[in-house]
Structures are given as structure tokens and as C-alpha cells.
Structure 1
Amino acid sequence: MKQFDVVIAGGAMAGMTLALAINKLSDKPLAIAVVEPFKVDHKAHPGFDSRSIALSHGTVNILKSLQLWQEIAQVATPIKHIHVSDRSHAGMTEISTAEVGVDALGYVVELADVGNIYHHLVEQNDDIELLCPASVQAVDRQQGSVTVTLDSGETLQSKLLVAADGAISTCCQQIGLDLLEHDFEQVALIANITTQQAHQGRAFERFTDSGPVALLPMSEGRMSLVWCLKPQDAEHVMALDDDAFLNRLQDAFGWRLGALEKVGQRASYPLLLRYRKQNTSHRFAIVGNAAQTLHPIAGQGFNLGIRDVATLAEEIAQSTQDPGSYDALSRFKQRRESDREATIALTSTLVHVFSNDYLTMRIGRNLGLAAMDNLPLLKAPLLARTLGLVAR
């Protein structure tokens, strides 16, 4: 039986960031195992696939403090300007770097690029052992330790097990932690797009009656599309040829970037809010999508997950004698409670306010967007969440 201080189930963004963060913050190194089913160079890796994510200003600051940003910065595209609008209506608001006084409002990275960087860093770290391909089959907790059985039959023993193994977490199922779900009755369609006009670091979120359309700036002049549609519409749009697809997207998004010229490979997934109220248990903690999977509106999910990861790493680093102690996990749970609840509530409310065409909602949200653009007092809370400047 192999002995570790911490076993992390899941080696995608949340799990790998946590593994690297723990020993950046600890006075003495801890023995860490990362259990991951998919090899990073495998095209089917669900955590490091062709998707892009937006890292908020606050997330970048966290990654800088963990000495992880320098490598990621080389594959990151800065967001200089954010434009939020409502299709066919006057309401809009804008946020720029000049207004906020930062170099970038956030950065867009491709998950595959970050996956390669993280795996290289882990390979160089003698205190982190990557067990791949492997997955957790059984969890057995004792008073002072937790024993994990892998699908290979190998057993690992540690002081703490962290579930970073996705929304349908095997570890959480083994422990018996309830998963709450809400179906937004939307499908996210994702692809990379090229446009007639250069994006110049601009990001766009446009609200339509079926859900938001977001375009994020990427390297090589590309833009990352997240298009939220009703399920029946998504099925139809996915089946269109490229020209018909671009025409339909042009109608939804408008002409702020000129003609939409090319679309890459498309993918889609249903949009559900999944979360576990309880993010700790005996010798057990949850981070990333295993703790909460949010609607992509306003780009909050991953950035919330990184705040979870950073806080847990801090508590583990302060409790190196016993990283799975009741006190360490209690502090982690308490520190994360208000941010988790507020961010989940915010994203869910935004979806319901901005994903319909009811007259009262339409008037209300357009007045809200217009007021937000002109009243700093209203805009400040949105800015704080957008920039990820949230207390931990």
C-alpha cells in the first residue's frame, strides 16, 4: 500500500492546480498522488479538450501567487474590453481596462495548452506522483486516514482525499454526498470562429431569448464561441453545414465584428447547475466541478473553482502534520461558504433574467444594463465578480 499525505482524484484543471499549489505554499513538501483516468495527450481527455476558458483578473493573481502564471501567460490572450448587450434592444454595458486600471480584465486560455504545461510541471516535481491512467473505485475512511482502491487493484493510503473528478464524481458517490441539480433547459454549443474584423482583445456577451452568445478573444485572431440555445434549436443548428451555421450565428450575434468567416469543429453539452452543499466530510474535500458546475453565463464557474483550490491549498499548507484534520477542513468549508452561495445564486439569476423574451423581463434587463453603464454604484458589484476580486 502506497502512503501519501494527500490523494487527489482527478488531474484536470482543478486537481492539477491543487497539487502544484500545495507544495508551493507548504514549508515542508507533502507527498501527493494525482489519480487521473485520461492521458493528457489523448484527444478524448474531457478536462483538457479543445475548449477555452476565461481566467479572471483575480484568478490570474492567484496563479501568480502560486508561481504558475509565468508559463500559462505564454499561451494566454488578454481581454482588454468586455461588451455586454441585449439582442435587438438598446440596453448595453461596457467594461474596459482603462476604466478599471488593470493591464487585462482577464485572459483566455485553451485547456489543452494548460494541460501540457501542468503535466510538464508535475513531471519535474518529485513530491507529486501522477497515477495515469487510473481511477478511484472504492473509498474507505478510518479515523486517522483514508484508503483509496484504484481500478487496477492498487491501494493508496493518505491523510486526505480530495475529489476533483468532475460533476458526476465517483468519490462523492462513494462517500454518499448528495448532488443537487437544476436543468436550465439549454444546450451550450462551442466552437472556434474567425471574424472579418480583428478582435483586438474584445470579449462579447450578447443576450438572446434562448440564452447568451459569448465570443472570447483567442490567439491567431480566433474567437471562442459559447452559444446557449434551447435543446431543439441546438440540435437543428448542430446539423447545419458551416455556411448555414455562420448565417444563423450572424443573425444572433450581429455585425460588431463584421462577417463571421469560418467555424471550426463544433461540440455541444447540456447546461445544468450541479452542486453539492457539503464540500467537506471526514478526511474528504471537494473542489472544481465536483463541488459545483455552473452555467457559463458571465464565466464564473472555473474562477470560483480556483478560489476553492487556492483556499484548500492554504489550509493544507498550514496543517502539514495532518492535512486532513477536522480543523483544517472546517476552516476551508467556512471560508468558502459565502462566495460559493453568492456565485451560484448570481449565475442562476442571470440565466433566468437574460434567457427569455418576456416583455417585463426584457424592459427590466435593458433598464438594468443602461443604468449599470451610467451608475458606478450599480456597476461596482458586477465589476468585482467579473474581475474575480472576491474575498476568500
Structure 2
Amino acid sequence: MTNYDIVIAGGAMAGMTLALALNDASKGKLKVAVVEPCELDHSKHPGFDSRCIALSHGTVQILRKYGLWEVLQPLATQIDDIHVSDRHHAGMTDISSKDLFVDALGYVVELAHVGREFQKLVDAIENIDYLCPDSVESIERSTKQVSVCLSSGSQIQANLLVAADGAGSTCCELLNMPSAEHDFEQSAVIANVVTSEQHNHRAFERFTENGPVALLPLSENRMSLVWCMAPKHVNEVIGLSDDEFLSRLQSEFGWRLGQFTQVGKRANYPLVLRTRMQNVSHRFAIVGNAAQTLHPIAGQGFNLGIRDVASLVEEIEKCIEDPGQHKVLAGFRTRRESDRINTIQLTSCLVHLFSNELPALRLARNLGLFAMDNLPQLKAPLLQQTLGLIDR
């Protein structure tokens, strides 16, 4: 049986970031195993697929702290402005980096590119073992250790097991960690698109009667599209020809970026809120999508997960000799409670507010957008969440 200080189940964004941050924070003193079931082709890895993510200003600060931002920055496209609007209605607001005196509101990265770069870093670190393809089959815990049996037949042991294995976490299920689920009755269609006008590092969130449409700036004037809609429409939209798809998107989004001229490969996934009722157990912690999977409406999911990672690393730094002891996990649980609750509630409220065409709610959201655009004190909470400057 091989002994580690920490075993991380899941080698996608949260798991890899955690492994690299732990190595940096401990100056290489922690021996870490990352258990990942998918092969190394990051273009096909479900955690490093064709999707893009927006890294908030606060997330970039965290990545910079652990020496990871210098690796990702060349791959990133900055967001200078965010335009929020409600289709067919007057309500809108703009958020600008210049007004907030920051270099950028955030950055957009393509997950497949991040996966390749993080893999290179992990491969070069002697005290991180990347066990792939392999997966967790069973877990046994004693007072001071957690033992993990892998699908390969190997057995490994550690002071702490961390679930970073995404929504529907195998580790959480094996340990009977309770969860709650809410179906938003929406699906997201994702693709990269090109427009006739330059995006000029602007991002857009447009709310329609069918669901939100988000566009994030990418290199070569591409934009990452997340188009939310009722599940009954997904197969039809996915099956449209490129020209028909672009025409339908044009009708939903409008002409703020000129004409949509190209669309790449399309994919879709259901939008469901999944939350674990608690994020720790005996010698066990949960981070990222394994702890909570959010609607993409405000781009909060990954940024919330990175705050999970950073808080756990900081608690472990206090007790490197035994990272799985109770006071480490109790500290992590307490630190994450408020941020998790507030971000989950904010995201869910936005979904219900902006996906509902009841006249009273439509009026309320447009008045709210108008007020935020004219009253800075009302805009402040949205700006704080957008920048990811959250107490943790």
C-alpha cells in the first residue's frame, strides 16, 4: 500500500488546481496523489472539454498567489466590459473595468488548453503522483487514515481524501454524503461563434423569454456561447444547419455584435443545481462541482470552486503534519459556509427572476437593471460578485 498525505479524486480543473496549490503552499513537503479515470487527451476529457470558463478578478488573484496565473495568462482573453440586458425590454446595465480601476473584470480560458498546461506542471513535480486512468472503487476510514481501493486493484492510504470528481461525485456517493437537487428545467447549448464586429473584450449576458444567452470573448474574435433554453428545444436547435442556427441565435441575441457569421461544434448539457448538504466528513473534504454544481447564468460555478480550493489549502497550511485532522476540516467547513450559501442563492434567484415572463417579475427585473445602472450603491453587490472579491 502506497502512503500519501493527501489523495485527490478527480484531475480536472478543481483537482489539478488543488494539487498544484498544495505543492506550492507546502514548498513540496506534501506527497499528493491525483486519481483520474479519463485518459490524457484533454480535448476529450469531460472536465477539460470544448467549454470555456470565465475566471473572475478574485480567481486570478488566487491563481497568481500559487504561481499558476503566469502559466494561464498567455492562454486567456481578458474581459474589459460586461453588458447585461433584457430582450424586448428597456432594462440594461454595463460593468466596466475602467470604472472599477482594475486591469480586467476577468479572463476567459478554454478548458482543453488549461488541461494541457496543468498536466505539464503536474508531470514535472516529483511529489505529485498522477494515477490515470484509475478511479476510486471503495473507501475505508480509521481514526487517523483513509484507505482507498482503486479500480486498478491498487490500494493507497492518506491522511485526507478530497473529492474533486465533479457533479455526481463517486466519492460522495460511496460515503453516503447527502445532497439536494433542483432541476432548472433548462439545458445549455454551447459552441464557439464568430461575429462580423470585433468583440473588443466585451462579454454579454442577454435575458430572453426562453432563457439567458451569454457570450464571452475569445482569441481571434471568437466568442464562447452559452445559450440556455427549455430542454424540449435542444434537439431541434442542435440539429439545425449552421446558417439556421446562426439565424436563430441572431433573433435571440440581436445585433450588438453585428452579424453572427460562423459557428463551431455544438454540445449541450442539462442545467441542474446540485449541492452537498455538508462539505466535510471524517478525513474527507469536497471541493468544486462535487460540492455544488450551479447554473452558468452568472459564471459563478468555477470561481466558487476555486475559493473552495484556496480556503482548503490555507487551512491545510496550518497543519501540514496532518492535513486531515478535525480542526483543519472544521476550519474549512466554517470558512466556506457563507460564500457557498450566498452564491448558490444569488445564482438561483437570477435564474428564476430572468427566466420568468410574469408581468410583475418582468417589470421588477427591468426596474432593477435600470436602478443598478443609475444608482452605484445598488450595483455594488453585483460588482463584488462579478469580480469574485468574496470573503472566504
TM-score exceeds 0.5: yes
Listed one character per residue, the Cα deviations across residues 262-300 of structure 1 (whole Å, up to 9, x for unaligned) are 000000000000010200000000001000000001100
Letter of the aligned partner of 2:325 in structure 1? S
Equivalences for residues 170-209 of structure 1 within 5 A: 170-209=170-209
State how far apart, in whole Å, the 2-side matches of 1:254 and 1:210 are: 14
SS at match of 1:336: helix
Equivalences for residues 289-308 of structure 1 within 5 A: 289-308=289-308
Q: Which residue of 2 aligns with 1:236?
A: 236
Letter of the aligned partner of 2:199 in structure 1? H
Are the counterparts in 2 of residues 28 and 320 from structure 1 also a CA contact under 8 Å? no
User: Where do 5+ consecutive residues of structure 1 fail to align?
Assistant: none
Q: Which residue of 1 aligns with 2:80?
A: 80
Q: Which residue of 2 aligns with 1:211?
A: 211
Q: Which residue of 2 aligns with 1:67?
A: 67
Q: Is residue 2:166 matched to residue 1:160?
A: no
State how far apart, in whole Å, the 1-side matches of 2:359 and 2:234 are: 24
Q: Which residue of 1 aligns with 2:135?
A: 135
**Equivalent pairs, count:** 392
Task: Please report how far the alpha carbon of residue 39 of structure 1 lies from its aligned counterpart in structure 2 after TM superposition.
Answer: 2.2
State how far apart, in whole Å, the 2-side matches of 1:318 and 1:132 are: 30
- Worse-superposed segment, 358-367 or 231-240: 231-240
Q: Which residue of 2 aligns with 1:144?
A: 144
Q: Which residue of 2 aligns with 1:18?
A: 18
State how far apart, in whole Å, the 2-side matches of 1:92 and 1:317 are: 44
Q: Which residue of 2 aligns with 1:106?
A: 106
Q: Which residue of 2 aligns with 1:344?
A: 344
Are the counterparts in 2 of residues 148 and 155 from structure 1 also a CA contact under 8 Å? yes
Are the counterparts in 2 of residues 211 and 354 from structure 1 also a CA contact under 8 Å? yes
TM-score (norm 2): 0.99
Q: Which residue of 1 aligns with 2:47?
A: 47
Are the counterparts in 1 of residues 105 and 387 from structure 2 also a CA contact under 8 Å? yes
Task: Please report how far the alpha carbon of residue 119 of structure 1 lies from its aligned counterpart in structure 2 after TM superposition.
Answer: 0.5
Listed one character per residue, the Cα deviations across residues 214-250 of structure 1 (whole Å, up to 9, x for unaligned) are 0000011100000000111222111111111100000
Q: Which residue of 2 aligns with 1:278?
A: 278
Task: Please report how far the alpha carbon of residue 13 of structure 1 lies from its aligned counterpart in structure 2 after TM superposition.
Answer: 0.2
State how far apart, in whole Å, the 1-side matches of 2:159 and 2:53 are: 32
Q: Which residue of 2 aligns with 1:319?
A: 319
Task: Please report how far the alpha carbon of residue 369 of structure 1 lies from its aligned counterpart in structure 2 after TM superposition.
Answer: 0.1
State how far apart, in whole Å, the 1-side matches of 2:18 and 2:317 are: 11
Q: Which residue of 2 aligns with 1:4?
A: 4
State how far apart, in whole Å, the 1-side matches of 2:21 and 2:199 are: 33
Listed one character per residue, the Cα deviations across residues 80-101 of structure 1 (whole Å, up to 9, x for unaligned) are 1100000011000001111110
User: Where do 5+ consecutive residues of structure 2 fail to align?
Assistant: none
State how far apart, in whole Å, the 2-side matches of 1:62 and 1:151 are: 34
Q: Which residue of 1 aligns with 2:310?
A: 310
Q: Is residue 2:343 matched to residue 1:360?
A: no
Q: Which residue of 1 aligns with 2:380?
A: 380
Listed one character per residue, the Cα deviations across residues 37-90 of structure 1 (whole Å, up to 9, x for unaligned) are 112325421000010000000000000011100010000000011000000110
Task: Please report how far the alpha carbon of residue 211 of structure 1 lies from its aligned counterpart in structure 2 after TM superposition.
Answer: 1.1
Letter of the aligned partner of 2:116 in structure 1? N
State how far apart, in whole Å, the 1-side matches of 2:50 and 2:28 are: 36
TM-score (norm 1): 0.99
State how far apart, in whole Å, the 2-side matches of 1:322 and 1:292 are: 26
SS at match of 2:75: coil
Q: Structure 1 residue runs of 4+, over 4 Å off?
A: none
Q: Which residue of 2 aligns with 1:335?
A: 335
State how far apart, in whole Å, the 2-side matches of 1:196 and 1:358 are: 35
Equivalences for residues 240-255 of structure 1 within 5 A: 240-255=240-255
State how far apart, in whole Å, the 1-side matches of 2:28 and 2:188 are: 43
- What is the root-mean-square deviation in Å for CA atoms of aligned residues? 0.8
Letter of the aligned partner of 2:344 in structure 1? I
Task: Please report how far the alpha carbon of residue 27 of structure 1 lies from its aligned counterpart in structure 2 after TM superposition.
Answer: 5.1
